[in-house]
């Protein structure tokens, strides 16, 4: 697939690492000299930015957490005078209080460049019509895609979130070829498309870029089939820039993480390097909000093999969920994404689900409420019971904990325009 910036995307490993080291040292110096919070952390650990002599030395640096951002709300971690700040974004607040993120002009420029790199890589060109189905208030998603697609020269439609029928008629009338939304909303659009008597073939779509929440291979297949498109996973978070941190290439096996702007680590809960664990990111070019070793809370692993596409920026695997999504059910660790992996591939099972956790007489109960297809719903009792039993068995084997399956009517679980809410935890803490 095409390169937007071939030289950078295929930079030799040694050169890429040298660039990272140079930028890491610079970021550490800026943090130390301009952000009192970091100076205190460095001093407490008895280290100086000059102690970073190799990339491995990053392990000497302090971690930064979401709580640190909240404690320093609003501008405590900003590393430039406020007059240099030209834009503010804020987190969608899926997990509590909002955090705010200041950008300088260079930050916005780097972000646009990364988004152009990503979109061009999955095949978006000047000829494309790109419809962005994100909430354009505070949230980074839509803006990042807008900036990147505009840099490429595509025709951009900032359609906003929701109003599904209008999204689809816009796609039809303006001949949209590329769209981006959360994967759960894309599935919802596919349902509404069917209700409107439209088929994937009636639209001009060819590419979809999805992210902002965890999704599975079976969801990808459903989206690709429903719209007749190629669907790509893309990951990012407002703490780094928003989308633009990494994306899949045509191999669709892991996302290339842009090492010229971010330095990734994968750690366990104690912060030690591990193969599979929490992604930790340091910014390498960020001016407004440089962050060292930010604990993303997102679970992933490095993909070791070189990629056939020729890009030297190593990949990370699909995000499995967040550390704080983990449910502990009767002592067993369970992630919502595991339900999706097991259930959505089952014939007769629909697209939407909810996991309901409760505690009765000090015993945790786990209910998996999932929609079935129209055909199953209208079919025989026996078939329904059989499906329930089989799914319960698979879940018990896959999760090592038993769950009660509740098969519900198609389209009965509430849809979200942005990130889907999958877990309802009724246990008292």
Whether residue 219 contacts residue 340, with contact meaning beta carbons closer than 8 Å, is answered with yes
Helix/strand/coil for 159: coil
Please choose, out of 32-40, 310-318, 358-366, 385-393, the segment that lies near Zn ion by the rule CB under 5 A. Answer: 310-318
Identified binder of ligand ADP from the candidate list 260, 278, 298, 340, rule CB under 6 A: 298
Q: Is 301 in the site for Zn ion (CB under 5 A)?
A: no
Contacts 24+ apart (CB under 8 A), 224-231: 225/200, 226/186, 226/187, 226/190, 226/193, 226/200, 227/186, 227/190, 227/193, 227/200, 227/203, 228/200, 228/201, 228/203, 229/200, 229/205, 230/122, 230/123, 230/206, 231/183, 231/186, 231/207
Give the pair of three-digit tokens for residue 128: 């494309």
213 binds ligand ADP (CB under 6 A): yes
> Rounded CA gap, 5 and 28, in Å?
27
Determine which residue in the list 47, 309, 383, 408 makes contact with Zn ion, applying CB under 5 A. 309
Place of tokens 């990111």: 281
Note whether 205 binds Zn ion by CB under 5 A: no
Q: Is residue 408 near Zn ion by the rule CB under 5 A?
A: no
Residues 233-272 that bind ligand ADP (CB under 6 A): 233-238
**CA atoms of 232 and 247, how far apart (whole Å):** 7
Task: With contacts defined by CB under 6 A, name the span among 1-9, 50-58, 193-201, 212-220 that binds ligand ADP.
Answer: 212-220
Sequence-distant (≥ 6) Cβ neighbours of residue 7 within 8 angstroms = none
Q: C-alpha distances in angstroms, 227 versus 35, 191, 220? A: 48, 10, 11
Task: Name the binder of 249 from ligand ADP, Zn ion, none, CB < 5-8 A by kind.
Answer: Zn ion
User: Is 307 an interacting residue with respect to Zn ion (CB under 5 A)?
Assistant: yes
- Cα 97 to chain centroid distance, Å, stands at 19
> Among ligand ADP, Zn ion, none, what does residue 20 contact (CB within 5–8 Å per kind)?
none
Site string (165-194) toward Zn ion, x via CB under 5 A: ------------------------------
The answer to whether residue 94 forms part of the interface with ligand ADP (CB under 6 A) is: yes
**∠ at Cα 264 (258, 265), nearest 5°?**
160
CB of 92 to ligand ADP, least distance (A): 4
Sole window of 251-259, 324-332, 389-397, 421-429 interacting with Zn ion (rule: CB under 5 A): 251-259
Q: Which of 211, 219, 208 is nearest to 236 (CA)?
A: 211
Nearer to ligand ADP, 170 or 216 (CB): 216
Confirm or reject binding of residue 91 to ligand ADP (CB under 6 A): yes
Stretch that binds ligand ADP, among 150-158, 230-238, 257-265, 389-397 (CB under 6 A): 230-238
Residue corresponding to tokens 């000299």? 33
Are 140 and 148 within 8 A, CB to CB?
A: no
Rounded to the nearest whole angstrom, what is the least distance from the CB of residue 181 to ligand ADP in the complex?
12
Given the rule CB under 6 A, which of 76-84, 232-240, 301-309, 328-336 is the region that contacts ligand ADP?
232-240
Rounded CA separation 134/148 (Å)? 15
**CB atoms near residue 180 (< 10 Å):** 27
Q: In which residue are the tokens 């030395």 written? A: 57
| Shortest Å distance, C-beta 69 to ligand ADP | 11
From the list Zn ion, ligand ADP, none, pick the one residue 237 interacts with, judged by a Cβ distance below 5 to 8 Å according to partner type: ligand ADP
Q: x/- string (CB under 6 A) for ligand ADP, residues 329-368?
A: ----------------------------------------
Q: Answer yes or no whether residue 145 interacts with ligand ADP by CB under 6 A.
A: no
The residue within the footprint of ligand ADP, chosen from 119, 203, 212, 303 (CB under 6 A), is 212
Instruction: Kindly determine how many residues on this chain lie close enough to bind ligand ADP according to the rule CB under 6 A.
Output: 20
**Does residue 247 bind Zn ion (CB under 5 A)?**
no
Query: What is each CA distance from 361 to 27, 187, 367, 396, in whole angstroms?
Result: 53, 38, 16, 22
Say which residue the tokens 């951009």 belong to: 156
Residues of the shown chain interacting with ligand ADP in the complex, contacts defined by CB under 6 A? 91-95, 139, 211-214, 233-238, 296, 298, 319, 322
Q: Return residues touching Zn ion (CB under 5 A).
A: 249, 251, 307, 309, 311
């Amino acid at each position: 697939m095409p390169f937007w910036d071939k030289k950078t995307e295929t930079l030799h490993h040694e050169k890429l690492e040298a660039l990272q080291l140079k930028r890491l040292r610079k970021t550490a110096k800026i943090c130390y000299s301009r952000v009192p919070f970091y100076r205190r952390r460095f001093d407490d650990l008895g280290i100086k930015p000059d102690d970073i002599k190799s990339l491995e030395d990053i392990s000497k640096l302090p971690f930064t957490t979401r709580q640190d951002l909240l404690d320093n709300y609003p501008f405590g971690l900003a590393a430039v005078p406020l007059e240099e700040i030209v834009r503010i974004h804020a987190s969608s607040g899926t997990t509590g209080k909002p955090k705010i993120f200041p950008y300088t002009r260079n930050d916005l420029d780097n972000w646009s460049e990364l988004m152009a790199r990503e979109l061009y890589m999955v095949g978006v060109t000047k000829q494309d019509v790109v419809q962005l189905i994100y909430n354009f208030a505070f949230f980074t998603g839509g803006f990042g895609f807008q900036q990147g697609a505009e840099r490429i020269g595509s025709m951009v439609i900032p359609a906003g979130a929701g109003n599904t029928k209008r999204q689809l008629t816009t796609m039809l009338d303006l001949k949209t070829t590329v769209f981006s939304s959360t994967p759960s909303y894309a599935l919802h659009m596919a349902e509404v498309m069917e209700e409107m008597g439209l088929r994937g073939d009636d639209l001009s779509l060819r590419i979809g870029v999805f992210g902002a929440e965890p999704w599975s291979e079976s969801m990808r297949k459903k989206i690709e089939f429903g719209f007749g498109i190629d669907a790509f996973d893309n990951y990012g978070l407002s703490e780094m820039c928003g989308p633009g941190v990494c994306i899949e290439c045509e191999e669709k096996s892991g996302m290339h993480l842009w090492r010229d702007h971010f330095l990734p680590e994968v750690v366990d809960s104690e912060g030690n390097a591990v193969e599979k664990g929490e992604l930790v990111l340091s910014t390498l070019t960020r001016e407004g909000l440089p962050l060292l070793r930010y604990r993303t809370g997102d679970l992933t692993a490095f993909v070791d093999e070189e990629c056939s596409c020729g890009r030297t920026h190593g990949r990370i695997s699909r995000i499995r969920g967040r550390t704080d999504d983990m449910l502990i059910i009767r002592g067993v660790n369970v992630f919502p994404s595991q339900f999706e992996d097991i259930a959505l591939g089952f014939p007769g099972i629909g697209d939407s689900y909810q996991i309901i956790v409760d505690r009765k007489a000090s015993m945790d109960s786990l209910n998996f409420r999932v929609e079935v297809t129209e055909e199953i719903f209208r079919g025989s009792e026996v078939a329904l019971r059989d499906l329930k039993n089989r799914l319960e068995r698979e879940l018990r084997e896959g999760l090592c904990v038993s769950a009660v399956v509740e098969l519900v009517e198609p389209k009965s679980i509430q849809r979200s325009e942005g990130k889907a809410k999958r877990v309802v935890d009724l246990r008292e803490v």
